[in-house]
Structures are given as C-alpha cells and as structure tokens.
Structure 1
C-alpha cells in the first residue's frame, strides 16, 4: 500500500468540517424561518382573534366632545341696567337673580294701567246706571204720549163742537135769526179749534218720536252691557290685560337664571341700555352635559340607541371612566349642516368618509363627581355586542 500524505488527510478533514458547517447553517436558517413563520402566524391569528372577538364588538373614536343645551339669558324689555349680580364661572340655580334693570318706567306704567282699569270699571258701572235712567225716560215719554192723546182728544172735541155751531148758525143766516157778526165769531172759533187740533196732533207725534229715541238710546246702551257683568265687560277686560302686561314688564326688570348651571360669556355691564332679545350671558347646565361622538359612517353599522359606552376625558385621563348610553343619531353629518356645504356635484370630486354625530347620555352621579365643561375632548368606546 502506498503511503498517504498527511496534508491530504488535513484537506479532507477541512472539507468535511466545511460541509458540516454548511449543513448546520442551513438547518439553523430553516429553524429561523420556521420560527418567523410561526411568529407571523401567531401574530396574524392573534390580530384576527382580537378583531373578531374584541374589536368587532366595539366602536371607538376620539373625535368626541362634551356638549350641553346652553340657555341664553336675554332681556325681554328695553331698559338701563342698574345691577349685575353674577360673574363668569359662577354657579347659579334656577330663579337666582342675574341682572336688574331700572324699573322706574315700569312702575309708572303699572300705576297708569291701574288708573285706566279703575276708570273702565266706573265707566261700565255708569253705563249700567244709565240703563235705569233710560228706562225712566221711556216711561216719561210714554206719559207724554198719553197726555198728547188726551190733549188731541180735547182739541178734536172742541173742533167738532165749533163745526156744529158754525153749521147751525149758517142754516139760520137766511132767515135773519143770526147776525153776520155771530157767524163770523163762530167761524173764528172753528179755526182756532182746528189749529188747536193740529197742535195736539203735532205734540202727539213729537211724544212718539221722543219715546222711540229713548228706546233706541236704551238699546244702544244695553248692547254695551248685555250678558256681561262689570268684571267681564270687554272694556274692563282690555284694561285689566293692559295692567297684567304692565305688571309682567315690571317683573321682567328682574332677570333670573332659567336653569341651574355655570355663568359664561357675560357681556352685560351696569349702565348699559339693553334691548329686547339682546344676549346678556349664557348659563351652561354642566350637570346635564352629554357627549357627541363623531363616528365614521363605516363604523355605525352595528351602533343603535340603548347601547352602553365607556368614556374617558383628556381632562381627567384614563383613571376616570364615565359610563353612558347611546340615545340617538344626528339628522345629518357635519358637512351637511356646514355654513358652506361641500359641493359633491362638481366635476372634481373625491369621496371623503363622513362622520355622523352620535349623542351619548352620561351618568348623572359620575358627572356630579367629576364635572365636565362644554367643548372638552372625550374618548368613546361603544359596546356594539348588545
């Protein structure tokens, strides 16, 4: 057997060592790839499981803000401000006095209205008393008519007698038994009787006309008081309404808080003359605050009223958790109610996912323990699994 060079053995051993190293490296690489694949599978499975079991049951947004039905305090009458009794940030209760207006003019108006009411009541009472007087006048005119009838009857009798006397004397003139002077005297008596009869007839007509006038005046007077008393007479009611309005205007010189809350945006100053409808300040009912959460439209498929929600504020952080309930959805998106709405009908159009405000009512006890203010940012998590 030929002798083998020791260097050859060394080369062979080196090749074998290199082959073993490559095999080990490949095995290690495969194991690393297998571990990476397992890691990715685990992460993907975890993400899928989280999305399926957790995320799909929650609608979450940080685009949410505290809101409240703010009450504007305005003056309902015009007048100068005599006192302002509150400051910004002050807590007030419903009925508390906020502002006083100078009430001099209002008090004078009340006094004038009271005088007008008293005058109207006396006028109506006078009308009622006049009705009795007019009835007496009608009775008097009836008596005048009866007297005129009697006078007319007497005048008619005198006229008939004078006519008979004239007829008798005229029949005796031819025989000379009656003188011409006597006939003339009788004829004059007839003329006088005829004039008296006409005067009596005129008096009778005048008495009838006076009675009819008295009846018409009484009817007109009764129309003012028919089926009413002094208290519910239209003139008295109108005067009383004016008095009530004057008293209301006097009460309105004292401006009170319409609700419980915190005074904000106070703009009124002493000496300022305010006009009806001008805003003096606002009262924010922080104890009745709510949250408007602006969810994307693609997140609202499973959100409906009655679902519970957990909320945290940037003010207190995650250590304070509020519990609320979804009460409803806005009637439109923010873009729909914008002052300058988006023109989606234009040629250059890019679809933008819209957000719809969702109203969430907060727990009153939690809100009292940790008060919020209008406009604060909130984080909302709605449980849509129920």
Structure 2
C-alpha cells in the first residue's frame, strides 16, 4: 500500500511539473521581440519596347461565332389566306425571277368573282359613256323632223281654223264645223309644243345629277373589280426578288393556315453573301463598320475568307448562334454584326463560321492557330 501511494505521488508531481514548464516556455516566446524585416522594394514595372505590345494587352481582334445568309436575307413566303395547295411550281435550288409565281391555292371561285366584276364594270362604263355623250345624231335628226312636221300641221290647222271662222261669220258654215276646226288647231299647236320639248331634251347635254350617278356606279364597279382581283392575288405566291429557292416546306395537296406560321418556300439572293455574327457584349466597344474580318469554317480547313463589317446593331439581344460546346453560356447578351463577304457567294447558306474582326493594326498576324 505504501509503495502504491508513493508511485501515485510521483506521477502527480511529474504532471504538475510538465504543465509549469510548458507555460513558462509560451510566456517567453510572447515576450521575445521579433527582429524587424526591412520591406522589399517592388520591382519596377516592365517597360514595353517600342512597337511591342505588353504580354497582357488585349488582342487586336474580336472573335465571334457567325452564320452565312443571303445579302437579301432569307425570305419565308406564305399565303395570306387559308386553303389547299394546288401547285408548288419550284424545287429547291431553282432560280426564280421577280414576280414569278411559285405556288398557287385551289381557289377557282376567286377567278369567277373577277370575271363577274369585269362584266359589271363594262356595263357601268357603257352607261356612263351614254350619259356623257347624250343623244345620237339620228335621234336629234328624228326629233328635229318631228318638230317640222308638227309645225306644218299646226300651220294648216291655223289656216283652216281662220277660214272656217270667216265662213261662220257669213253664216255659210255651221257652228259645229267651226268648233271642230278650232279644236284641231289647238291640238296641232299642243303637238308642236311637245315636239319642240322633245327636241330640246334630245339636243341638250345630260343633266349633272345623271352624270354624277353614272360616274358613281362606274366607280363602285371598278372598286368591286379591284377587291376581287386583290382576293385572287392572295391565292398565289410570287417571288419578291431575283434569287434561288433555298427551301421547299410544303407540297401540292397540303393545307395551309393563317393561324400559325406555314411558309411554303424560302427564297434568297445568294449572288452576294454576308455573315451575321454574335459579338459578345464585352467586346462591343471595339466593333465599328468598315473593319476587316477574317472568317474560317471547319468544312474548309485552314482556308480563310474575308469580309468587311457593314452594319452593327444598336440594341443588344439574345444569342442567335449555338455551338456544340457544352460549356457555352446561353444567357450571354450579344450585339448582331453584319459582315459582307468579299467575292461571289460560294459558301452554303446556314454555314457556321468562326469570325475574327480585326480591331487593331496587325491583328490578322496575331490570330490564334485554327484547328478544324
């Protein structure tokens, strides 16, 4: 028991002694002054040699994805009215001329309406011409002859009436005969007046109200014809440009609607091409019209195409061109930039390109190596 107690006492003393030693060592470290270290002067900034850009300077070009399109842009042609396609007279790759019919709806009733309106207009215009011309020369001559005839009859009746009045005064003629002669004279006089009125009516120009009415009826018929022709024109699609059929979306026999987008063909003028590039919003301050651009496509290997920036949009928008990079950000804001390609259009419409817009002197010499 005595040995066991002595061992416990020795252990306790060893623990207390170790704690005291650790505390004294820590206090000595705190109170020991540290040696002052003189600040090291920062190395002087590297001065760029004349004509050599610093290593961290922005490149003299701006990279952006682009897509080939016709200079006229892609025109998706459709109908203004619903119906069934009777004919699509072009195929993809066909050349079309301005005004050429490329598709037609099955709408024979429109042609019938045009024919009916043309007939009505012809009748109204004939009536107007008749009113403006007045009576024909034969009608005038007939009315004039009727006046002369009535004048002769009236003159004979007047003479006969005067003679019979003289005979009545001499009591040679009965009163009844004298009254008959007087009636015949009055009738002849009235017929002469009627013939004169008839001649004035035939010989005088048409009344103003008759002319206005005939003109209004002709104008209404002309408007009906224009309406029928406009409706018939909606049943056909004509090419708005000289170009090429890029895509044929519908076939004969299919239905088209105006409730949703149903283009029949897409046309474009591919004699000259341009590229629509999506410039990132971080680089828009370095882009302006007139800058040169170098363009490359995977399909053409290391071959380079050239162009000039023709227009820069004035409003930021969403990305139009998507790449196959899974790390691509889709919420980036871009500025559309149009680049006119040099030379004839030999690239297919819709081809994706890598666009490098030269923003500084010698930028084309510092382009990154292109690995298609």
For this structure pair, what is the TM-score category when the shorter chain's length is used for normalisation? 0.5 to 0.7
Which consecutive unaligned segments of at least 5 residues does structure 1 have? 1-32, 170-181, 225-233, 336-351
- The match for 2:184 among 168, 191, 196 is 196
Q: 1:384 to 1:289 in 2, by over 3 A?
A: same
Report the CA distance between 1:60 and its aligned residue.
0.9
> How many angstroms apart in 2 are the aligned matches of 1:85 and 1:158?
88
Matched, 1:289 2:277: no
- The match for 2:292 among 276, 287, 308 is 308
Q: 1:353 to 1:260 in 2, by over 3 A?
A: closer
Matched, 1:382 2:358: yes
Report the CA distance between 1:195 and its aligned residue.
1.1
Q: Deviations over 1:80-135 (max 9, x none)?
A: 32455667xx433224986565576677678x479949x949x959x78xx79832
Higher helix fraction: Structure 1 or Structure 2?
1
Matched, 1:324 2:312: no
Aligned-pair RMSD on alpha carbons? 5.2
Q: 1:161 to 1:139 in 2, by over 3 A?
A: same
Matched, 1:272 2:245: no
- TM-score of the superposed pair, with normalisation by structure 1: 0.56
1:343 maps to which residue?
none
> How many angstroms apart in 1 are the aligned matches of 2:336 and 2:53?
27
> How many angstroms apart in 2 are the aligned matches of 1:293 and 1:146?
94
- The match for 2:350 among 361, 364, 373 is 373
2:11 maps to which residue?
none
CA contact (8 A) 2:164 2:178 kept: yes
CA contact (8 A) 2:66 2:275 kept: no
CA contact (8 A) 1:79 1:274 kept: yes
Q: Deviations over 1:175-214 (max 9, x none)?
A: xxxxxxx46x443332222112111111111212322333
1:158 maps to which residue?
160
Q: 1:51 to 1:159 in 2, by over 3 A?
A: farther
SS in 2 for 1:333: coil
Q: 1:152 to 1:77 in 2, by over 3 A?
A: same
* Aligned length in residues: 294
1:7 maps to which residue?
none
1:79-98 matched pairs, under 5 angstroms: 79-84=83-88, 90-95=92-97
